[in-house]
Homo-oligomer: A and B are copies of this chain.
Amino acid sequence: MESILNALKSKLADEQVTTNQTVRELHSRDETYHETSLPDIVVFPKSTEDVSHIMKVAQEFKTPVTPFGVGSSLEGHVIPYQNGMTVDFSLMNKIIEIKENDLLVTVQPGVTREQLNKELKKYGLFFPVDPGANATLGGMAATNASGTTSVKYGVMRDQVRDMEVVLANGSVIHTGSLAAKSASGYHLNGLFVGSEGTLGCFTELTLQVYGIPEHIVAARATFPTFTQAIDAVTAILNAGIPIARVEFVDEATVIQINKFSETNYPIEPTLFLEFHGNQAGLQADVDFTKEIMKDHDCQEFIFETDTKARNHLWDARHNVAYAYIHGHVGKKMMLTDVAVPISELANAIIYARAELDKLGVPGGLLGHVGDGNFHGLIMIDMTNTEEVQKAKEFNEKVVLYALERGGTCTGEHGVGVGKKQYQQLEHGAALQIMKQIKKALDPNNILNPNKIVDME
């Protein structure tokens, strides 16, 4: 241990390297039910050179390295189960450049989503990917985060134009270019985004940004049944209406929202929607959507055009997880995260709700249904072994249901340790290719070892 610390400190300041117990504990967990595990050392790089130095030391001592943003991930990605070093990117939080005319921004990995959007607003621009949490952009790239706006703007991977990455041996590469498209070489942007710290540490990201839409309308629609709500979504998508957000919540979740956000929404299957565009086009889209809603027996369709009411609606939706946590002190959150082809979505949600009812623990369903992605959010008492076991079985049932229908075990939260046991089933022979890539890029398996894939 002493020799690693000395090697690290040969190029890092003392305050950049710590074994302090409190700091280690802060880096031992994520926001969910996953078991904690302490890193031996936490390092705080300030530059690409620092990260390169850290990786060279890690390679020399064959020490595991776990990158860390703000720890908001949900499948144990940032928990160092093999201890070693956690690399905390909070000091690398500069917005390096905003290229207004190119609709590009270059940031360090520790910049958070809200920090970026605050700055972009000055230019009439915004960064659309919105996983709810105020995550770092490095973390969002590492897990290929998405969220409410992906149905229109795409996921994190779609926004990444280039990344600077420090590899396992400390060398530094760029994964892309500043061009809007390229057919040059293998698609390293795509490979590194979503690699969850297992292939390299991101030290700089160049991301696509967008002009703030001229006009925004939000709406809330309620339906008698899940199927009617989801069928309405399918009809909207098939009509080619360029909807910017379409979120589903079940009755149990509306109850939590009403309690936490002091709303008075009807306790029914509900869609939250948002439209972006020019005023005339948007009105036509909204009118068409209204018709579709009516065709699917929509009970209530309420618009929020002013900014304050719109923000309140989305705050209410975004605070769902906190509403559940707040309402169930002492319990831990587990979130399922499958995505299925949209034609399978209504039945998948009905299935998940029935299974959740059997569990007898508090929980609800919500989802980015335009992408076929939904979550079961359940609150579990970690001291009750039977409850924990049942919750895990519920998660597994939902995953198996999705995989049998051509879906994925994780739409947006990533694999970490929570979805590792389903990788073989989902990817089959392709998992071997993933292992070969991991082995080629990190032969000693020191980069966030045994996340995504187990390397023997």
Contact = CB atoms under 8 A, between A and B. Distances in A.
Contacts of A178: 340-341, 405-407
A398 to B, nearest CB: 13
Nearest to A434: B186
Contacts of A193: 187
Interface in A211-244: 211, 213-214, 234, 237-240, 242
Interface in A394-444: 402, 405-415, 419, 422-423, 426-431, 433-434, 436-441
Given A194-B186, A342-B101, A411-B181, A171 B429 contact: yes
Interface residues of A, number: 102
A274 interface: no
A77 to B, nearest CB: 10
Given A211-B239, A433-B441, A183 B414 contact: yes
A441 B186 CA distance: 13
A434 B437 CA distance: 10
A174 B213 CA distance: 38
A104 interface: yes
Nearest to A281: B281
B339 A430 contact: no
Contacts of A422: 184
Given A187-B194, A281-B285, A408-B179, A173 B433 contact: yes
Interface in A188-228: 188-191, 193-195, 199, 210-211, 213-214
A182 interface: yes
A452 interface: yes
A63 interface: no
Contacts of A7: none
Nearest to A436: B440
Interface stretch (A23-31, A41-49, A81-89, A143-151): A143-151
Contacts of A440: 436-437, 439-440
Contacts of A408: 177, 179, 181-184
B179 A415 contact: no
A186 B452 contact: yes
A103 interface: yes
- Which residue, A154, A179, A184, A239, has most C-beta atoms of chain B within 10 A? A184
A339 B419 contact: no
A8 to B, nearest CB: 24
A284 interface: yes
A147 B431 CA distance: 33
Given A214-B240, A280-B281, A410 B186 contact: no
A294 interface: no
A213 B439 CA distance: 46
Interface in A49-95: none
A292 interface: no
B341 A175 contact: no
Nearest to A144: B183
Interface string A136-178: 0000000111100010001101100000000100011111011
A430 B343 contact: no
Contacts of A389: none
Contact of A410 (B184, B281, B285, B413): B184
Contacts of A445: none
A102 interface: yes
A185 B415 contact: yes
8 contacts: A167-B433, A178-B405, A180-B341, A182-B411, A184-B415, A184-B427, A281-B282, A439-B440
Which 5 residue pairs of A and B lie closest in terms of their CB atoms, listed nearest first? A281-B281, A190-B190, A178-B406, A179-B339, A211-B240
